[in-house]
Structure 1
Amino acid sequence: MSHVSLRTFFSLTFLIFIILLTAVLTISVGSKSSEEMEEEIGNSLSNVSYQMADKLDFFMWSRYNELKLLSELNTIKDEGNLDDKRVLLNELQKNISSFSWVGITNKEGEVIVATNNMLVGNSIKERPVYLEAMKKPFVGDVHEAVLLAKLMPSPNGEPVEFVDISFPIRNHKGEFSGVLASHLSWDWSKEIHRSIIEPYKAHLKSAKRVEVFIIRSEDNRILLGPDDMIGTALPTSLTNDNSISDQNWNIRKWPDGRDYVTSYSYSDGYLNYPGLNWKIIVREPIDTAFASVEKLKSYTLTVGMIAAILFAVIGWFIAGRVANPLKEIAIAANQLKRGERTEIPYFTRIRDLNDLSLSLREMVDTIMETKSELGRMKKLALKDSLTGLPNRVALYSFIDKKLENDANDENYFFLFMDLDGFKDINDTYGHQAGDDLLVKVADRLKASVKKGDFVARLGGDEFILIIRCETNSRIDEGIKLGESIISSINSPISLGDGVEVVIRCSIGGAIWPECGIEPDEVIDLADQALYQSKDKGKNQVTFYQA
């Protein structure tokens, strides 16, 4: 039986030891960070589905209340004044193009006035848009056009689809006199989809294959999604999973046999708008979603393997005098494996052993630096990619760490802000100008707060600020603070190429914990106060007061 030399034995032993040490450090240091990073990526997709659901509900809430307001006008209630009614309906359609058709019926269901005189003289008494609205407001789900199919053909030959909103009309005696009915073009949903997904994809290379689905709850039919899937139904097992209520995202196998990171949200109404219970699903192939995680794991492993080969060579030259130092190194490795804080020991008496111990320490530092890189990427997942401000995930992290743990004896202002007329800036100067405007607004907000305060972008043109109260006259202090922010935002903003705009903003405020112990409750109250500012004329601050 042949025997290997001591040098060979120690070199092979050393090689195996370094490989094991690398594996232990890679698993113990990198595994948890990778899981946290995957969680942040999943939460990022969840944020997209939440924004989509929120914008869908907000759009429908706006149209719902526009028609509600119109149905209560005396011009609409009076049985005469057909010309005045026609002017109102045409003006509504002119200013809000998503209204494909708006009409008024008499109590028998005959259309007596309508935009562009379409269907005037026709009866819609058998249609849900009339029948369901005889007693209460009606919101109808997406459906293909019936009576208007020939009058409003689609330019691409595809079926025209509408969402219905209608209100009963009652005369001054409270008697039913007809229905104010409308058809909203389903194309508006695609514009909302583009407004969310395109900026997301533009700032994340890994997000190029992200896809958004709007699903009808009653039959799981895809209302919006990839062209080849629209109109088909998803399996119930994919949409009615109990885990949806417990976790906003998970990894699911889709009918095409591939695994996707899949996030869920519900469009369940907003304020007085009841909602249509659409399911919003966002998916991304797992291989692209977690590509950065796998890349970092591979890098860590490569560094470890290179170090293993290097130290095997070193072991060959110091084989005769490394037994005891190796034992000490093995003890240190076991301590690291158990999660104990320790360092690879120095060996200064022998030059070769001293070099070895220093190299091992450098290897540990390299792996620790890799962990720091994972931590840096985790922080990026907490940032809004456009403005650099913290995002919604960072908001709740701040609340958990700062408010609920450290500030029980302090009062904080929750200021909910959005821009007035931001859509007009986008429509007039383009989405790039809108993005530039958001960046400059974010810079002004950051300049308006002190160290220790917090400002975040929630999505679109919505921002939230959390600022510590400094006086006992909290409402007065909060109003002055809000007015100072409004004044800052109202200053002219240059968008380049000689374009200068003035943007207004509305702010709603609430005080934590004075208005509520739960931060979510205080945020909702600040949101309500925001809409009071809108109702009172915009570009002002309103505080919630119990």
Structure 2
Amino acid sequence: MTSPGQPNGSAAAHRSAKGGFFPGRVRSRAIGLRVMVAVTVAVLVLGSTLVKGLVVGNGAADALAKEIGNSMTGLAQSLVRQLDLTMWARANQIAALSRIDALKDPTVAQSTIDELKRRDPTIAWIGMTNAGGRVVAASNGLLLGADISSRPVHQEGMKGLFVGDVHQAVALKGKVPYLQGETPKFVDVSAPLQKADGSTVGVLAAHYSWEWAHISIRQLTEPLADRKGLTLFILSADGTVLIGPESAVGKPLPVPTLSGKLRDGWSSEVWPDGITYVTGVAHGKGLHDYAGLGWTVVARQPADVVFAETNRLRMTIIGSGTLLALLFSVIGWFAAGRIARPLGAIADAAERIGKGGPGAAIPDVGGAAEIRRLSVALREMVDGLTNKDAALMRLEDIAYEDRLTALPNRRYFEQYVEASTGAGGGSAMVMYIDLDGFKPVNDRLGHDAGDAVLRQIGGRLASIFRDDDVVARLGGDEFAAVLPRRAGRPAPDTDELATRIIAAVNEPVSFNGEKIRVGCSIGIASWPEDDRDMATVMRHADAALYKAKRDGRNRSVRWMRTMVGG
């Protein structure tokens, strides 16, 4: 119950009554500044690292593929050029020897042949035939006296300089150094032996061991020993593998597109084993007047081996970027802490101020200049708002307070009743109180006496009701009270309370040495028992009040449905 002399109490009670009908403020679970900064920095650094790793990795992969592809092509071109150069030199050697007249003598030819065989280990066999195709001079005496007139090396040699492709020499198997169990393979070179008149008297022929091709491959690939999976193929003009993996020798290349009429270059090809290889191709084109045998060289290396270094580079970039992201996020965490701590202090103070905590104030924090400016501005704003709020509270108290009795006025009473019963829950008693014999006091003693009576009666009423009851002066000599019923405690005995009110009002009031006596009539109604509409209940209480006056005044009447006018 709001008592006289406590003007702020009525306004506070009114604000509390109104506040009960507004939902409470829900504090959302938000991400802290430190976490936000740390996560943002980590995401930015890691994101940029991933993009960099992707871009650099892909760029490096493309560049590396191009570099390896070009190197494969260059290796193939070097080997095919070496093969052409070697065959050109051998063809020139035989062609030059065939021009020497002395070699037409078998005896001279034999000594020359033996010397050539001794000096050139790549010559497996060299010999001279007569016009009929019989061997008349031969290295190590092999095939001496044999008839090779049906062999291309003799037939083609009789016509002019001849270079024969790789073939097996069955007649020499086991007679020349070669891999055990294998039939030796040779490249034939032959040229006609002619007299001064141009007639052909025989052929100078040589079988060059195919081993020199293997030697050439070893010489080219030894510096590339660190290239894992590097494989070389030498193909004949018809695409048959002359040199390569054992399973491929003597068969067409398993990737026909590489052995066809393609220009020198490189590509990534999937081979029959399901592996993608970076593959370089080069075709023999001969040299000078040597047209060449149409050989093709293919060099390949597994793509996963080629790109392994790129993948390592990409993983290194991503790994270092992840470490940097963690490092910078930790730095961001501590850096944000210097901002978050003073902001947190300001936020905590603002919450305490919002809850009305005693002595709460915006602290004067340090840190960044902007945060310091913020704390100063907020402190000045809160001070200004506090002063304004105090002024507004006082104005609100004045607006809701009866200035004569310090009781709540009609405006407050009506709004309180509306707020406290608007939700439809609970129950309350309503009492209308009207003074009896008050008008003669004003008429006989004046308004000052009447005001003194009202002030003292207001104080007496305020002392009778409970703390949570509301008693107000509605105007003139009319008062009203609302007695809410609370769960867990007994309802007030209105008859006993009315008797106490009447007794208190009947006590004389002293004014300028004169004893002034007045009485009161009371009308009582109950909400929601008498009606669920509070306005109707208040009218019922007013009707009961006037019945009390008609029944003789200075008494209380409880409204009943049988009441006349009810």
- TM bucket by the smaller chain? 0.5 to 0.7
Q: Contact 2:339 / 2:368 at 8 angstroms: preserved in 1?
A: no
| Aligned twin of 1:520 | none
Quote the offset at 1:321 in angstroms: 8.7
Does structure 1 residue 212 correspond to structure 2 residue 229?
Answer: no
Counterpart code for 2:274: G
2:118 to 94, 103, 112: 94
| Aligned twin of 1:164 | 188
Q: Aligned runs of 1:68-217 on 2, under 5 Å?
A: 68-76=95-103, 78=104, 81-152=105-176, 154-201=178-225, 205=226, 207-217=227-237
Q: Contact 1:38 / 1:293 at 8 angstroms: preserved in 2?
A: no
Q: Aligned runs of 1:501-520 on 2, under 5 Å?
A: none
| Aligned twin of 1:270 | 287
Specify the structure having the higher radius of gyration (Cα): 2
Q: Contact 2:253 / 2:259 at 8 angstroms: preserved in 1?
A: no
In the aligned structure 2, how far is the partner of 1:117 from the partner of 1:29?
66
Counterpart code for 2:48: L
Q: Deviations over 1:414-473 (max 9, x none)?
A: xxxxxxxxxxxxxxxxxxxxxxxxxxxxxxxxxxxxxxxxxxxxxxxxxxxxxxxxxxxx
Does structure 1 residue 308 correspond to structure 2 residue 322?
Answer: no
Q: Contact 1:52 / 1:280 at 8 angstroms: preserved in 2?
A: yes
1:7 to 11, 28, 34: 34
Q: Aligned runs of 1:481-496 on 2, under 5 Å?
A: none
1:59 to 76, 86, 89: 86
In the aligned structure 1, how far is the partner of 2:65 from the partner of 2:259?
23
Quote the offset at 1:5 in angstroms: 3.0
In the aligned structure 2, how far is the partner of 1:162 from the partner of 1:263?
26
Q: Contact 1:101 / 1:182 at 8 angstroms: preserved in 2?
A: yes
In the aligned structure 1, how far is the partner of 2:36 from the partner of 2:84?
70
In the aligned structure 1, how far is the partner of 2:368 from the partner of 2:281?
61
1:42 to 54, 69, 81: 69
Counterpart code for 1:303: S
Aligned length: 316
Counterpart code for 1:212: L
Q: For residues 241 and 153 of structure 1, do their structure 2 counterparts lie closer, same or farther at Cα, with a shift above 3 Å needed?
A: closer
Counterpart code for 2:241: I
Quote the offset at 1:35 in angstroms: 2.6
RMSD, aligned α-carbons: 2.6
Q: Contact 2:279 / 2:300 at 8 angstroms: preserved in 1?
A: yes
Q: For residues 45 and 54 of structure 1, do their structure 2 counterparts lie closer, same or farther at Cα, with a shift above 3 Å needed?
A: same
In the aligned structure 2, how far is the partner of 1:236 from the partner of 1:286?
16
Q: Contact 1:141 / 1:163 at 8 angstroms: preserved in 2?
A: yes
Counterpart code for 1:302: G
* Structure 2 residues without counterparts, runs of 5 or longer: 1-27, 341-366, 370-566
| Aligned twin of 1:299 | 316
Counterpart code for 1:32: G
Q: Contact 2:170 / 2:184 at 8 angstroms: preserved in 1?
A: no
Quote the offset at 1:88 in angstroms: 1.0
In the aligned structure 2, how far is the partner of 1:171 from the partner of 1:322?
107
Quote the offset at 1:68 in angstroms: 0.6
SS at the partner of 2:252?
coil
In the aligned structure 2, how far is the partner of 1:150 from the partner of 1:297?
56
| Aligned twin of 1:252 | 269
Counterpart code for 2:31: V
| Aligned twin of 1:355 | none
In the aligned structure 1, how far is the partner of 2:214 from the partner of 2:161?
25
| Aligned twin of 1:225 | 244
Counterpart code for 2:62: E
Does structure 1 residue 23 correspond to structure 2 residue 50?
Answer: yes
Q: For residues 350 and 119 of structure 1, do their structure 2 counterparts lie closer, same or farther at Cα, with a shift above 3 Å needed?
A: farther
Q: Deviations over 1:31-74 (max 9, x none)?
A: 43443233223222322222211211111111111101110001
SS at the partner of 2:171?
coil
Quote the offset at 1:299 in angstroms: 1.0
Q: For residues 261 and 122 of structure 1, do their structure 2 counterparts lie closer, same or farther at Cα, with a shift above 3 Å needed?
A: same
Counterpart code for 1:215: L
Q: Contact 1:238 / 1:254 at 8 angstroms: preserved in 2?
A: no
Counterpart code for 2:73: S
TM-score, length of structure 2 as denominator length: 0.52
Q: For residues 133 and 298 of structure 1, do their structure 2 counterparts lie closer, same or farther at Cα, with a shift above 3 Å needed?
A: same
SS at the partner of 2:170?
coil
Higher RCO (CA-CA < 8 Å; seq separation 6+)? 2
Quote the offset at 1:350 in angstroms: 6.4
In the aligned structure 1, how far is the partner of 2:255 from the partner of 2:324?
51
